[in-house]
Amino acid sequence: MSAPPDLPEVVQRAFAVSRRAGYVSFCRNETGRLLAMLAATRDGTMAELGTGCGVGTAWLRSGVRGEKARIVTAELDPRLARAAAEIFVDDDQVEVLAADWSTLLDKGPFSLLFLDAGQSDGWPGGSGGGDVGVDAVADLVEDGGIVVLDDFTPCEGWPPITYGRVDTLREQWLTDERFTAVEVMVAADAATIIATKR
């Protein structure tokens, strides 16, 4: 689980922290590069729900270009939040909270919001089955803001089918009138939904 040498330095630090913490569930490099690119287009405050050990946040931070941009990230597990905070201890533009996602409600609206659609216990609209609901998340994002949901299996048909069932989460995000959304394959076995609030 070592980081490839061509990764940004902050992402390499995040991989090292994850390795020490024994945490192996984190943002893929393909998704990370997408996050960095999107973060480079944003001002204001960005957020991540479910920090883990901070790899996704590190990718966001690697793309930030301005002094005004900041990132706030919430992790329910205090041990993981402490590990992630190590990465950004000297970085005034990143705040790591050991808290439930709801603590971010008074810190938005966000210009970019990153969520792992596959790990949503206790998240907005979450039922433990990957149901990161549009209704709750929509209010966390500013007009023109971007939501990035990762951890989807690519699907070419409509309606989208995953594991023999209609993927209602993906269907909801791709058809909600408050967002313009697209599914993007980041690897042969991984897709991400990117949605911009109208």
Query: Above 70 in pLDDT, residue 3?
Result: no
For the record, the structure tokens of 197 come out as: 């609030």
Residues 6 or more apart whose CB falls under 8 angstroms from that of 165 comprise none
Distance between CA 169 and CA 117 in Å, rounded? Answer: 9
How far lies 8's CA from each of 40, 62, 83, 152, 160, in Å?
Answer: 14, 6, 19, 25, 34
Highest-confidence segment of 22-26, 76-80, 144-148: 144-148
DSSP letter (8 states) at residue 3 = P
The per-residue pLDDT for range 117-166, each reduced to its tens digit, is: 765 444 454 433 344 679 878 999 999 999 999 989 898 889 988 888 99
Q: Does this model's pTM top 0.85?
A: yes
**Among candidates 172, 171, 179, 170, which has minimal Cα distance to 197?**
179
Choose the weakest-confidence range: 15-24, 77-86, 184-193. 15-24
- With cut-offs at 50, 70 and 90, classify the pLDDT of residue 62: very high
- Domains, the chain, with CATH or none: 9-197 (3.40.50.150)
Q: Are 147 and 141 in contact (CB under 8 A)?
A: yes
Q: Are 146 and 194 in contact (CB under 8 A)?
A: yes
